[in-house]
Structure 1
């Protein structure tokens, strides 16, 4: 059975290394969100560095998740001191579990504060796509699909909650997704 890949990308207002309270607050909330997400029904895995260091992105060993990549339009720093981005790559059993995890609880609270931390870029900040069972999506997969979504809109290849598709490419709304099962009715 296919799994749902989710790539998120945001440009932060200040570098991750910024000692300001807002940056440390973002880190603290982010760590708590990761812990909570990993216990959500339907959650399968997320990209983590081999050594567990979240401070280094571009030079880190991401194992099967591939080399870290960002969209071509990201124009801020790429060193530990200058990187000003937040990106995630995760796997889910389906749309409903991902929707429930993103739009409830602690993650929902963080979403409500996103403009405290992130710049408004006018570009999509997340993208979904289906992957065959046993396949680990890569950072480059996420970047190329986010860029495709921005350039061409939602399609079975790259989509959002509001313009979703089943694994076979049939358009589906989030309301049509079965309750917490990830199965389409």
Structure 2
């Protein structure tokens, strides 16, 4: 692909410690719309998979088949740098750092990125397929984590623990 002809897609999944209406998730659920709206306003934001559209549910209405406690986030960004700016330089980082309060530890990779042509809107099946490829084969041009990207300067500088990629 020619430079500028591609965008960066990312999928992040996690199993919530309880149902979305459980008091243990109240703070997380209450912040979803704010964090997602912030992401949509960031320079370099292209697209976000939408859940049910119900306020306060974020993308929790988009379920991985067979598990209603799986929370899914999938977005597309103009570049690695624009995704990093959102992840590490906004309110998102504070909630990311507290993820263990709201998500079970899966013990396996739960985050994947891949390049898409400009204008392409990835499907959940596409994202889950990329995640499966990363889990099975490790980093490649088809599916990768932060460590695969030379441009991931904030991640390399220590703004992201290794656990984020695992």
What's the TM-score bracket when you normalise by the shorter of the two chains? 0.7 to 0.9
Q: Is the contact made by 1:2 and 1:131 (CA closer than 8 Å) also made in structure 2?
A: yes
Structure number having the greater helix percentage: 2
Match in the other structure for 1:43: 45
Q: Is the contact made by 1:13 and 1:117 (CA closer than 8 Å) also made in structure 2?
A: yes
Tell me the C-alpha RMSD between the 2 structures: 1.9
Q: Secondary structure at the match of 1:131?
A: strand
Match in the other structure for 1:95: 80
Structure 1: state its 5+ residue gaps: 59-68, 71-76, 165-171, 177-185
How many residue pairs were aligned? 146
Give TM-score scaled by structure 1 length. 0.72
CA-to-aligned-CA distance 1:137-162 (integer Å, 9 cap, x gap): 11011101111111111111001112
Structure 2: state its 5+ residue gaps: 155-166
Task: Return the structure number with greater relative CO, CA threshold 8 A, min gap 6.
Answer: 1
Give me the whole-angstrom Cα distance separating, in 2, the residues matched to 1:7 and 1:113.
Answer: 19
Match in the other structure for 1:2: 6
CA-to-aligned-CA distance 1:52-77 (integer Å, 9 cap, x gap): 2345334xxxxxxxxxx45xxxxxx6
Structure 1 residue 45 displacement after superposition: 1.2
Match in the other structure for 2:53: 52
Match in the other structure for 2:90: 105
Give TM-score scaled by structure 2 length. 0.80
Structure 1 residue 173 displacement after superposition: 4.5
Which structure is larger by alpha-carbon Rg, 1 or 2? Answer: 1
Q: Is the contact made by 2:80 and 2:151 (CA closer than 8 Å) also made in structure 1?
A: no
Question: Any runs of at least 4 consecutive aligned residues in structure 1 with deviations exceeding 2 A, and if so which?
Answer: 53-58
